[in-house]
């Protein structure tokens, strides 16, 4: 029997939408279904009072991948936003990522790179650091010493993950840049920016001419949608797809408290991290600062870490040994499927930046449409 579509794509996030565009460009007939009532997955932005609100947390596009950068530039014009977050520790303000601006503020005698390195080395020595860091605390002290660890890392990280830094894997902290120049750019990539008309417009341009059905949960309509296309790309949670038969993959969740304020600006910066445990949220996002807008009002979101359980929004994967090996069991099932492919952060159970997500979609489409 001839099926109506060549590909059914479950999920209209960045992974699903990239696959949909690439496969359509290759001449395949594609249907995208999405269980939420909007496209875009977690990069979705909503225009409120002429401000693009990042509904699922702040999203800053950054990449060094030329192919990915030219792909997204087909669908959006990007501004020249550079992420330069601040940290607030009991009212003291520091620059992030850790760089000379942070060091001179922390240690008033620091005038040069050598001075900063001397402080860090001295603190490592006092801590008694070992060669191969076994946990996040050791990794952090090895990189930046104990003062920065105590003021800017320990309590923030413990709030974020609800675990002690000695119980967390070192890799979490490794993606934060450390520099001995006066440079507050949070990322090291060649390209960075925010789509001028918001991420939702970018995704809707990506999906132009493609059939999209919103408010449709594949798992509640499995029979109908399994027979509608020759191939399925599934970007929802892999364990849920298999009815959690081996167990539940863990996540961290977040709750955003968003407020409209009748003032021009609240914090004069897009992102301010609150690194002490006395403040219950990890950061405040002031959305208008992602774009160069001059509105008279502003919108902020406080970001509260939350324990995840089924029914809550999945944000961060917890890629420890236990969850990674559970994921491998599901992956073995996935490998046995015919014409069914898993992708994206939920399907592949990993934290992917947006550019990694797009690159992974490129890879899948290359492999399956050979």
What amino acid positions are annotated as catalytic residues? 175, 179, 252, 283, 303, 351, 353
Dist. CA 215–CA 32, nearest whole Å: 11
State the Cα–Cα distance between residues 361 and 206, nearest whole angstrom: 13
Q: Which H or E run contains 22? A: helix 14-25
Q: Which of 31, 51, 100, 173 is close enough to bind ligand UDP by CB under 6 A?
A: 173
Tokens matching residue 284: 């405040």
> Is the bond into 278 cis (omega within 30 degrees of 0)?
no
Which of residues 24 and 42 has its CB atom nearest to ligand UDP in the complex? 42
Between the CA of residue 82 and those of 62, 75, 78, 169, what are the distances in Å? 9, 20, 11, 28
The interface mask with ligand FAD, positions 202-231, x = CB under 6 A, is ---------------xxx------------
CB of 121 to ligand FAD, least distance (A): 32
Closest CB to ligand UDP among residues 53, 96: 96
d(CA 6, CA 23): 9
CB 262 within 8 A of CB 140: no
Interface residue with ligand UDP among 4, 175, 259, 322 (CB under 6 A) is 175
Closer Cβ to ligand UDP, 276 or 297, answer by number: 276
Does the footprint of ligand FAD cover residue 16 (CB under 6 A)?
A: yes
- Among 5, 15, 186, 341, the residue binding ligand FAD under the rule CB under 6 A is 15
Contacts with ligand UDP in 260-299 (CB under 6 A)?
A: 273, 275
Cite the beta strand spans of the chain per DSSP E: 5-10, 30-34, 45-48, 51-54, 61-63, 86-89, 92-95, 191-193, 211-214, 229-234, 251-261, 271-274, 283-286, 298-307, 316-317, 340-342
* Part in contact with ligand FAD (CB under 6 A); list of ranges 1-9, 10-18, 71-79, 206-214: 10-18
Binding partner at 153 among ligand FAD, ligand UDP, none, C-beta below 5 to 8 Å by kind? ligand UDP
Residue 235: name its binding partner from ligand FAD, ligand UDP, none (Cβ under 5 to 8 Å by kind).
Answer: ligand FAD
- Can residue 87 be called a binding residue for ligand UDP (CB under 6 A)? yes
> Which residue ranges make up the site for ligand UDP (CB under 6 A)?
87, 96, 152-153, 156-157, 160, 172-173, 175-176, 273, 275
């Amino acid at each position: 029997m001839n099926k109506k579509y060549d590909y059914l794509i479950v999920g209209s996030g960045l992974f699903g939408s990239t696959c949909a565009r690439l496969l359509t460009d290759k001449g395949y007939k594609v249907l995208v279904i999405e269980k939420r009532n909007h496209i875009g997955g977690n990069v979705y932005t909503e225009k409120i009072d002429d401000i693009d609100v990042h509904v699922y947390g702040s999203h800053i596009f950054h990449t060094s991948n030329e192919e990915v950068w030219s792909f997204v530039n087909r669908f959006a014009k990007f501004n020249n936003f550079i992420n330069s977050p601040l940290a607030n520790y009991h009212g003291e303000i520091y620059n992030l990522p850790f760089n000379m601006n942070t060091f001179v503020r922390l240690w008033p005698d620091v005038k040069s790179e050598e001075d900063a390195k001397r402080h860090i080395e001295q603190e490592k020595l006092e801590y008694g650091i070992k060669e191969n860091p076994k946990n996040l605390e050791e990794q952090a002290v090895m990189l930046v010493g104990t003062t920065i660890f105590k003021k800017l890392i320990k309590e923030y990280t413990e709030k974020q993950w609800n675990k002690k830094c000695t119980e967390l894997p070192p890799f979490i902290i490794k993606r934060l840049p450390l520099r001995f120049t006066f440079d507050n750019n949070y990322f090291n990539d060649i390209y960075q920016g925010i789509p001028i008309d918001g991420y939702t417009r970018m995704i809707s341009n990506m999906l132009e001419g493609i059939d999209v059905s919103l408010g449709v949960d594949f798992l509640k309509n499995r029979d109908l949608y399994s027979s509608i296309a020759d191939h399925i790309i599934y970007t929802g949670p892999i364990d849920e797809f298999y009815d959690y038969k081996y167990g539940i993959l863990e996540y961290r969740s977040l709750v955003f408290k968003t407020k409209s304020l009748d003032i021009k600006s609240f914090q004069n910066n897009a992102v301010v991290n609150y690194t002490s445990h006395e403040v219950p949220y990890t950061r405040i996002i002031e959305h208008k600062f992602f774009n160069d807008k001059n509105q008279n009002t502003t919108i902020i979101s406080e970001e509260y870490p939350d324990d995840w359980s089924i029914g809550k929004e999945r944000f961060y994967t917890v890629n420890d040994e236990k969850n990674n090996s559970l994921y491998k069991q599901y992956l073995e099932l996935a490998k046995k499927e015919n014409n069914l492919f898993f992708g994206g952060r939920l399907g592949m159970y990993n934290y992917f930046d947006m550019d990694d997500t797009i690159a992974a979609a490129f890879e899948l489409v290359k492999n399956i449409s050979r």
